[in-house]
Structure 1
Amino acid sequence: MAARGRANPLALAVLTLLSERPMHPYEMSGTLRERRKEDSIKLNYGSLYSVVESLRKRGLIASRETVREGRRPERTVYEITEPGIAEMHDWLSDLLANPAKEFAQFEAALSLMPVLGPAEVVQLLEARLRTQLLAKQQYDAIAASTPEGFPRLFTIEAEFRQNLLETEIRFITELLRELKSGEFDGLRVWARMHQLRESGASPEEIEATVATEFAEEMSWLSQPEQH
């Protein structure tokens, strides 16, 4: 499968499941949920069927048989093919070995936050911090309830998410401290820009004033220290 077909991790999850044994989509969904993989991979039944059909058309999996259990509808059982095994190995190896640029929504929001005023951003970050602290409590509770001696192999992705969460909490906490104390670089110009906007200044006036004040601030920062 070409790299263009590697955008959906759910497809890789299906390949890994079928490398264990043949399954029908309902069993795939149940197994992923039982293993809590929906915390790491976006999963819904409709998209799962679409992924299975796409993999079948690409020759990475094939239908093995159709089964019926009691009064339930017939279900198609799928198995992985030799090309599917090769693709699974190459895809997973690539993900583990090669960092890829991931366009996180929070990162995008940070890059665009100057369009909002500093005071509003502080309120929004405080709300996000409360949510993430609650999430950390939930992760800590899950970690504490994990049976002693339970293989780390089966919880490593949760450990990764927890570390990312803790890093974000530290980042937001420090960012809020700098914003509230006035230490954040560019805060004065940022606040001035929104003061002008609220006063009804034209975009041209705002741009000219901000450019002048930013140049003055950079000039002051670049002055050599006096001894």
Structure 2
Amino acid sequence: MPARRKVGNLLALAVLSALAQRPMHPYEIASNLRAWGKDQDMEIKWGSFYTVVRNMERHGLIEAVESVREGRRPERTVYRITDAGWAELVDWARELVSTPAAERPQFRAGLSVLAVLHPDEAAVLLHQRLELLEDEIRSGRETLAEHLRTVPRLFLVESEYYLTIRDAEAAWIRSLLAELISGSYPGLDEWRAYHEAGRPPAGSTDPQQRSGSTQ
């Protein structure tokens, strides 16, 4: 069961990972997180950044070590990770790597109401998504290959995972499209007939019809 975190926002995990490198002030932390692409690896709400930093300090995960001033800029507090913060970072990493969590991608939400679209339109839209996915995968693989020339693979493993997931999604869409185009998709004639009759397919809006779906 996932642990109850003192600061459960994933932004706190990102901050801890940054301060594990060296002490930094908040502006430097945010700049580095953006430069490292951490906002692509996890949902980061920048508007809550300073609130998260304050909460982390209050719970002893980070601590102030000094204040610095650069030119006419306001004084900035430099923070470092504490022993408690390091323990939290390691424990959190263990949990995230070992324990599957329920995730709700927007694509799944769209698929849950796919029946409200005519199957011909659904096929066109899925093909459009597939083309965009293939472009994204191609670009991502080129970028990954370029980074691997200078960055150890260990620090790019999250990009490998993301591209693998995108590959799997693209493969599934190709399979679904093949069934729709060939006419072999189960219930396709009924799906088409409902739309041509001007009414939604049975069960498309009734959650009782979907009570046996997987989580």
Same fold (TM over 0.5): yes
> Which one scores higher on RCO, CA 8 angstroms, separation ≥ 6?
2
Q: Structure 1 vs Structure 2: percent identity of aligned residues?
A: 42
Alignment of 1:18-167 (within 5 A): 18-43=19-44, 45-146=46-147, 148=149, 150-167=151-168
Q: Is the 8 A contact 2:137 2:163 kept in 1?
A: yes
The number of equivalent residue pairs is 202
With normalisation by structure 2, the TM-score equals 0.82
**Letter of the 1:70 counterpart:** G
Q: CA deviation at 1:6?
A: 6.4
Instruction: Tell me the SS of whatever aligns to 1:66.
Output: strand
Match of 1:168 in 2: 169
Instruction: Tell me the SS of whatever aligns to 1:65.
Output: strand
For 1:6 and 1:193, how far apart are their aligned partners in 2?
50
| Greater helix content | 1
**Letter of the 2:174 counterpart:** T
Structure 1 residues 70 and 145: CA distance shift in structure 2, 3 A: same
Match of 1:211 in 2: none
For 1:125 and 1:152, how far apart are their aligned partners in 2?
33
For 1:191 and 1:78, how far apart are their aligned partners in 2?
61
Instruction: Tell me the SS of whatever aligns to 1:62.
Output: strand
Structure 1 residues 7 and 60: CA distance shift in structure 2, 3 A: closer
Structure 1 residues 7 and 113: CA distance shift in structure 2, 3 A: farther
Alignment of 1:203-218 (within 5 A): 207=202
With normalisation by structure 1, the TM-score equals 0.78
Structure 1 residues 196 and 147: CA distance shift in structure 2, 3 A: closer
Instruction: Tell me the SS of whatever aligns to 1:197.
Output: coil
Q: For structure 2, list consecutive stretches of 5 or more residues without a partner in the other structure.
A: 204-215
Structure having the higher Rg: 1
For 1:68 and 1:34, how far apart are their aligned partners in 2?
23
Q: For structure 1, list consecutive stretches of 5 or more residues without a partner in the other structure.
A: 209-227
Q: Is the 8 A contact 2:118 2:192 kept in 1?
A: yes
Instruction: Tell me the SS of whatever aligns to 1:100.
Output: coil
Structure 1 residues 144 and 61: CA distance shift in structure 2, 3 A: closer
**Letter of the 1:183 counterpart:** S
RMSD value, Cα: 2.5
1:119-167 Cα offsets, whole Å, 9 max, x none, are 2211211221121111112112213323547411111111111111111
